[in-house]
Structure 1
């Protein structure tokens, strides 16, 4: 069974419509510290989000408030300008058993920042300090990273690794204002497969990380992104 959470992109027509819409948006905020470890607990936030969405921000960094966030529906998908680092999801965004979570994310000019973005699965107790989830991120440098969070503890499944499958900011086509990456996490039997743009970049055993639970987006601070789709395919 396939459950689509947004409309997929439509090639050149999508790009033209998106760029027209984005011409009204402000540029991302100035850079602050790069590549935080995000060790502090998440905190729920009462912010203006698209209907049904929830956000939990990283605490303890002190440089941002939830008002720095802009998160709006923009067909196809959503546009996010941060603001604070955090996770974004809906109550009914749940995946268990065999499934694939996949998202297409467009990065707009990050400057020299190396802040990362991507998707998470296995979310549990996301409202408190005992939150758990596994997240899969990329960044402007053409690298990916996989990490498991358990409360305030972070465990690298795969540290920052350069891979040809990841589209870095400098890989964008001439004249393009953004660079897209498609990230997917596939849970199948005892294994979990992480892929970027259709290429497997890592495979690990399921019993070492959280997989079943909420899924959604993980976005670090001072990023300007368009998420054209966030899809769940349940079953093998």
Structure 2
């Protein structure tokens, strides 16, 4: 009986995969006006977004209050070439979705970028840790082709969940380099960690040293506060 139930649950889970993929494929990036209005900051949209004719001007990145605000548009990475991490460091910020899934039909991620090199070119490499408002998180990189470290299905009780679509949700996200260890920390809890050897390799990162910034999924609206870089 137990075996039968396990098989049934596995079959049901597999049946959901095509539906989730189809939902993601059906939801197209909707351009917004504004572009980058933060002095010193740069950005680059994902390759598939660029092929669809979308650019950094198809998203909006502005100063707002004591922080910043990003509204996308295409999936995009923002960075400031003057802000770099070297050796042991931690970079963090607090992301707030005022209306969870307000611009999309399924959860989209937002988070911290680190270890950026050759940014804005076809040879760029970087790593990011991002959270979803449904309790999931993702650790992923470009090197220059995308590489997954944990996939999109990573879950942790540390990742905050919105009560429902349209409700607010906030995540404090950090990436830390300390010794040989690189960590993804969400709301004060380490949710994933990797050795430098797992990250700095052919087709992955050139170094854990590099520029830092933000990663925003497509059709996402979030306020960014408390952005800082310092020692662990």
TM-score range, shorter chain: 0.7 to 0.9
Q: Are 1:165 and 2:158 matched, yes or no?
A: yes
Bigger relative contact order (CA 8 A; separation at least 6) = 1
How far 1:35 sits from its partner (Å)?
A: 8.0
Any gaps of 5 or more consecutive residues in structure 1?
A: 1-31, 37-45
Q: Is the 8 A contact 1:35 1:114 kept in 2?
A: no
Q: Which residue of 2 aligns with 1:181?
A: 171
How far 1:93 sits from its partner (Å)?
A: 1.1
Q: Are 1:122 and 2:115 matched, yes or no?
A: yes
Provide the rounded CA distance (Å) in 2 between the counterparts of 1:60 and 1:161: 24
Does the residue aligned with 2:142 lie in a helix, a strand or coil? strand
How far 1:139 sits from its partner (Å)?
A: 1.1
Does the residue aligned with 1:170 lie in a helix, a strand or coil? coil
Q: Which residue of 2 aligns with 1:54?
A: 42
Over aligned residue pairs, what C-alpha RMSD do you find? 2.4
How far 1:171 sits from its partner (Å)?
A: 7.4
Q: Are the structure 2 counterparts of residues 35 and 97 from structure 1 closer, same or farther at C-alpha, using a change threshold of 3 Å?
A: farther
Q: Which residue of 2 aligns with 1:27?
A: none
Q: Which residue of 2 aligns with 1:10?
A: none
How far 1:78 sits from its partner (Å)?
A: 0.5
Q: Which residue of 1 aligns with 2:78?
A: 88
How far 1:212 sits from its partner (Å)?
A: 1.1
Q: Which residue of 2 aligns with 1:39?
A: none
Matches within 5 A, 1:134-145: 134-145=127-138
- Measured against aligned partners, the alpha-carbon deviations of 1:208-232 in whole angstroms (never above 9, x if no partner) come to 2132101100001111100012110
Higher share in helix: 2
Provide the rounded CA distance (Å) in 1 between the counterparts of 2:164 and 2:179: 35
Q: Between Structure 1 and Structure 2, how many residues are aligned? A: 191
Could you tell me which of 119, 140, 147 is aligned with 1:155? Answer: 147
Does the residue aligned with 1:184 lie in a helix, a strand or coil? strand
Provide the rounded CA distance (Å) in 2 between the counterparts of 1:171 and 1:231: 30
How far 1:96 sits from its partner (Å)?
A: 0.8
Q: Are the structure 2 counterparts of residues 65 and 128 from structure 1 closer, same or farther at C-alpha, using a change threshold of 3 Å?
A: closer
Bigger Rg, which one: 2
Q: Are the structure 2 counterparts of residues 223 and 136 from structure 1 closer, same or farther at C-alpha, using a change threshold of 3 Å?
A: same
Output the TM-score relative to the length of structure 2.
0.75
Does the residue aligned with 1:34 lie in a helix, a strand or coil? helix
Q: Are the structure 2 counterparts of residues 120 and 54 from structure 1 closer, same or farther at C-alpha, using a change threshold of 3 Å?
A: same
Q: Which moved more, 1:192-201 or 1:62-71?
A: 62-71
Q: Are the structure 2 counterparts of residues 143 and 69 from structure 1 closer, same or farther at C-alpha, using a change threshold of 3 Å?
A: same
- Measured against aligned partners, the alpha-carbon deviations of 1:174-207 in whole angstroms (never above 9, x if no partner) come to xx95211001111110111211100111121022
How far 1:51 sits from its partner (Å)?
A: 1.0
